[in-house]
Amino acid sequence: MSGNTDRVWVDPHAGFEYDPDTIVVPADYQREKLGICGIEPDLFGNRVDAAFFIGLAIRAGVASGISAQGNVNMLQSLIQHRPAALDEPLTVRGRITAVTEVPRGRTIDTDVWFEDTTGERVITARRRSLKPDPAKSGRGAGERPPPVLSDPASAAVLATHTLTPEIVVAYSEEGNSIHYDLEAARKAGFRAPLIGGGMGVHYLLAAIYAEAPPERFDMDIFFRRPIFWDDSFHVVREAEAMALTRTAGAVTKELTKVLTEMRINALG
């Protein structure tokens, strides 16, 4: 994979409007990508796994001139107004709602949505990401949202997954090389490539669909720590919250780290 180094990018600013575009999630594409992740594609039937819209929203920004290179997901809101069907054409629209200076760079808030042919919203995907600035030495990225899980170590374990570099590279798409290139990830301050936020959300939604496919949902997803291309993690649930966690053995007790948290605001 290689980035387009010749393109002239737009400097992100509040009020910037994306160019509308038509997108489709083909059935073969979903089957391939979920299979790479080790997720059973048949869980979703003829419906699109809504986690794909996280990446599609980012690529809509790229298509409109907003670079994704080096950006790190912080917060993702994902609303399914109704299930999107595989191979269904949808129109993606979006805008940048805020750009905020923080010690480590800038945070960028976007509001992206996907409409059907009648103009009705199918998916809404709002996002806050960090665009690191190498010239800044600060470590902060703004106010940290409070935890969603009250006791991650006691949450019910629904599944366990182990990643490999081959899995993460095969899943990743062009546009942000910190997900598939070791040198790019290290230049950005990470020990290794890290998965995109949407890839992690596949594992959370798969656990929900394994119980019962929802017609509608409203979820807030918090990306607490990077998940690297050689990590193992658990999918856990506690009431109306889910998470991806990493447990490392210590001398006296096990230490549970929350990697990604999801607050379930509505599910039905």
pLDDT of residue 255: 84
Residue 139 has pLDDT above 70, yes or no: no
> Contacts for 173-178 with beta carbons within 8 Å, 24 or more apart?
173/55, 173/59, 174/1, 174/2, 174/3, 175/3, 175/58, 175/59, 175/62, 175/68, 175/69, 176/58, 176/68, 176/69, 176/70, 176/71, 177/1, 177/3, 177/69, 178/70, 178/72
Domains and CATH numbers, the chain: 21-267 (3.10.129.10)
Name the E strands within 5-120.
21-23, 72-80, 90-102, 105-115
pLDDT band at 176 (very low <50, low <70, confident <90, very high): confident
Question: If you average pLDDT over every residue of the chain, what do you get?
Answer: 92
pLDDT band at 253 (very low <50, low <70, confident <90, very high): low
pLDDT of residue 254: 66
pLDDT band at 3 (very low <50, low <70, confident <90, very high): very low
pLDDT of residue 1: 54
Q: Please give the residue that has the higher pLDDT: either 7 or 2.
A: 7
Residue 151 has pLDDT above 90, yes or no: yes
Q: What average pLDDT does the segment 151-156 reach?
A: 94
pLDDT in tens, 194-237: 999 999 999 999 999 999 999 999 999 999 999 999 999 999 99
pLDDT of residue 144: 82
pLDDT over 90, % of the chain: 82
Q: Two tokens at 244?
A: 């991806």
pLDDT of residue 250: 52
Q: Please give the residue that has the higher pLDDT: either 142 or 246.
A: 246
Q: Which of 55-59, 96-100, 105-109, 251-255 has the lowest mean pLDDT?
A: 251-255
CA distance 196 to 192: 13
